[in-house]
């Protein structure tokens, strides 16, 4: 057992461990342009932060009146995204330190993401995080994506951990809601700090309103130790 007892840690990937949103934005812009939709903006991209790629392209069909099937759009966006992801997907430095710290202490860890398994695998391999994060769940493998709890509950199941012993790190409101629905504690690090007041974040046990600049590996680990001992945040 680790120094944190039965605590297990579940990471969201995009916007939490790695800054992949710029790549997702560019992949979205290119894909939509290929289907005749121009003028896709970063503000449009922000609306899909925290939901799965499948849900995103499903929304596109409604919003832009696209006739292409969801599977076709999904494959095209994933193809373009993977091309960009292979080139460069930066890991947040303090997140890398945190993962390494937890690994050194023997804490069970998993990744639970709305991205495809291939995208998750590509990023983890390309950043070297796959050496520490071997348990991976994509929302493609469960019935419902975030804000439903399915992906987090599946991660707990694969880790052999009780949901109440899991702590989720999330950057998006739907993910925070999913963690709460799963009965897990949540450390929220908003990717869009302008959304820090979103009601979904009020359920987080630890909210770093300033986002990644406010996150440090040591302070977060100390919080985990303190709350593991006290049994409360």
Does 12 participate in catalysis according to the annotation? yes
Question: What was the pLDDT predicted at 102?
Answer: 97
pLDDT in tens, 5-55: 999 999 999 999 999 989 999 999 999 999 999 999 999 998 888 888 899
Max CA separation in the chain (angstroms):
56
pLDDT for 233 beyond 80:
no
Q: What is the mean pLDDT of the chain?
A: 94
Measured between alpha carbons, how far is 6 from 52 in angstroms, rounded to an integer? Answer: 29
Q: List residues bridging with 186 in a β-sheet.
A: 168
Q: CB-hemisphere CA count at 13 Å for 14? A: 30
Q: What percent of the chain has pLDDT over 90?
A: 88
* Residue that is written with structure tokens 């994509």 in the block: 138
Q: Confirm if 195 and 162 have CB atoms less than 8 A apart.
A: no
Rounded (to 5) percent helix, strand, coil in the chain: 55, 10, 35
Q: Confirm if 87 and 18 have CB atoms less than 8 A apart.
A: no
CA nearest to 175, candidates 161, 165, 186: 186
pLDDT in tens, 135-183: 999 999 999 999 999 999 999 999 999 999 999 999 999 999 999 999 9
Question: What was the pLDDT predicted at 232?
Answer: 54
* Residue that is written with structure tokens 């100390």 in the block: 222
Q: In 10 A of CB 22, how many CB atoms? A: 14
Q: Confirm if 10 and 157 have CB atoms less than 8 A apart.
A: no
Measured between alpha carbons, how far is 196 from 10 in angstroms, rounded to an integer? Answer: 21
Measured between alpha carbons, how far is 7 from 9 in angstroms, rounded to an integer? Answer: 7
Q: In 10 A of CB 228, how many CB atoms? A: 16
Q: Which listed residue (12, 19, 140, 171) is catalytic?
A: 12
Measured between alpha carbons, how far is 76 from 63 in angstroms, rounded to an integer? Answer: 18
Q: What is the 3-state secondary structure (H, E, C) of 118-157?
A: HHHHHHHHHHCHHHCCCEEEEHHHCCCCCCCCHHHHHHHH
Query: Please, which pLDDT band fits residue 196 given cuts at 50, 70 and 90?
Result: very high
Q: Confirm if 45 and 39 have CB atoms less than 8 A apart.
A: no
Question: What was the pLDDT predicted at 52?
Answer: 87
């Amino acid at each position: 057992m680790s120094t944190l007892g039965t605590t297990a840690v579940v990471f969201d990937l995009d916007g939490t461990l790695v800054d992949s949103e710029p790549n997702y934005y560019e992949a979205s812009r290119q894909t939509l342009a290929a289907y005749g939709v121009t003028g896709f903006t970063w503000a449009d991209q922000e609306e899909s932060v925290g939901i799965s790629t499948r849900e995103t392209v499903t929304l596109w069909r409604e919003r832009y009146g696209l006739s292409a099937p969801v599977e076709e759009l999904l494959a095209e966006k994933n193809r373009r995204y993977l091309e960009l992801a292979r080139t460069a997907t930066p890991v947040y430095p303090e997140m890398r330190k945190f993962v390494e710290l937890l690994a050194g202490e023997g804490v069970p860890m998993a990744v639970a993401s709305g991205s495809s398994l291939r995208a998750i695998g590509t990023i983890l391999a390309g950043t070297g995080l796959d050496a520490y994060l071997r348990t991976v769940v994509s929302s493609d493998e469960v019935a419902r994506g975030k804000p439903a709890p399915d992906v987090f509950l599946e991660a707990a199941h694969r880790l052999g951990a009780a949901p109440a012993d899991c702590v989720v790190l999330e950057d998006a409101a739907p993910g925070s809601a999913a963690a709460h629905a799963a009965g897990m504690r949540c450390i929220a690090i908003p990717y869009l700090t302008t959304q820090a007041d979103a009601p979904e974040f009020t359920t987080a046990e630890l909210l770093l309103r300033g986002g990644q600049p406010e996150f440090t590996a040591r302070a977060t680990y100390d919080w985990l130790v303190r709350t593991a001992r006290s049994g409360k945040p």
